[in-house]
Amino acid sequence: GRKTGYGRVQVFNHRENFTDLDEIDLTRELGEALEHDQLELYYQPKCQLDNGKLAGVEALIRWNHPQRGLLTPNLFIPLAERFGLINRLGYWVIEQACHQLQQWRNTAFSDISIAINMSVQQLMDPHVIHFLKSCLERYRINRGLEIELTESVILSQERSGLNLLEQISAMGILLNIDDFGTGYSNFSYLRKMPVRFLKIDRSFVTDIEHNKDDQMIVRSILAIGHGLGMQVIAEGVENTGQRDWLRHQQCDLYQGYLLSRPQPLGELESWLSKQF
């Protein structure tokens, strides 16, 4: 079925696969992971559909667990959210991304932007704006950082009347709406929000060549996004048929295994050097 988002369902699905996983253990270990440098950002590039140019990378967190091996975020982000570690984890991601942007300055990679993912809890943290600001200052960054938020995050902002998104945008951080189309059918918020990119959820891309309903949905997303002056990104593009269909419909950017899997920094840099 369609994505379920974060929550108990996914956690339990994972537990079925890793029967020895104990949530309490894992949560304690995650606290240690933050202190002992076991977290790592992998980077997945996104490119323009019309000319193949690099448009930036998305940072996706991984946990190099000393016993359990490489863990993907669906396993531990929900735990971090339930047990109060998500803000520390999120600060680590922000800091790491800013550090990387600084490292790339004055190199061949100086134009690359980094998009980080943030959940609703992270945005609700009263210190997050201050932390973002201080990171940008410490690393002297005035462009190149992007934040990916889901529709539910954005709607929660609208409902609470907060203007955090305006504040973030005023710092020069570009906002992406992630998993677009899976959340809410209320589009009125889009007009008011300082959003630069819409990301079409992978669930609409998978069968795009053959499924007429998905084609209709994706065309509508493109019309809404472009009509409101945004760029549209397709995620989860795995084959050339999907890419060509999207290109033909004037989708702006794509991301997915066809182009590259998420890679550790070193591999990303050698991949970039070969491609561009």
**Two tokens, residue 244:** 């060509």
Residue with tokens 């997050």: 128
Find, among 165, 149, 128, 152, the residue nearest to 58 by Cα: 149
- Shortest approach of Ca ion to residue 10 CB, angstroms? 11
Nearer to ligand C2E (CB atom), residue 117 or residue 157: 117
Q: Which of residues 72, 156, 167, 203 is near ligand C2E by CB under 6 A?
A: 72
- Shortest approach of Ca ion to residue 218 CB, angstroms? 14
Angle at CA of residue 224, ends 222 and 228, nearest 5°:
115
**Two tokens, residue 228:** 């409101």
Q: Which of residues 100, 113, 119, 182 is near ligand C2E by CB under 6 A?
A: 119
| Cα–Cα distance, 145 to 118 (Å, whole number) | 13
Point out the residue whose Cβ comes nearest to ligand C2E: 256
Q: Which of residues 11, 47, 60, 165 is near ligand C2E by CB under 6 A?
A: 60
- Residues numbered 167-196 forming contacts with ligand C2E, rule: CB under 6 A: 178-179
**Two tokens, residue 29:** 């270990």
Angle at CA of residue 247, ends 266 and 182, nearest 5°:
80
| Cα–Cα distance, 167 to 218 (Å, whole number) | 30
- Shortest approach of ligand C2E to residue 101 CB, angstroms? 15
Binds 94, which of Ca ion, ligand C2E, none (CB < 5 to 8 A, cut-off by type)?
none
Residue 115 in contact with ligand C2E, rule: CB under 6 A:
no
Give the interface with Ca ion as residue ranges (CB under 5 A): 117, 148, 178-179
CA-to-CA separations, 147 to 27, 55, 74, 132, 196, in angstroms, rounded: 25, 14, 18, 11, 10
- Shortest approach of ligand C2E to residue 231 CB, angstroms? 17
Binds 230, which of ligand C2E, Ca ion, none (CB < 5 to 8 A, cut-off by type)?
none
Residue 61 in contact with ligand C2E, rule: CB under 6 A:
yes
Residue 256 in contact with ligand C2E, rule: CB under 6 A:
yes
- Shortest approach of ligand C2E to residue 109 CB, angstroms? 20
| Cα–Cα distance, 226 to 103 (Å, whole number) | 34
Residue with tokens 């997303």: 221
Nearer to ligand C2E (CB atom), residue 183 or residue 262: 262
**Two tokens, residue 136:** 């940008």
- Give the CA dihedral 15, 183, 56, 46, nearest 10 degrees: 80
**Site residues for ligand C2E per CB under 6 A:** 44, 60-61, 72-74, 77, 93, 116-119, 148, 178-179, 235-238, 256-257, 262
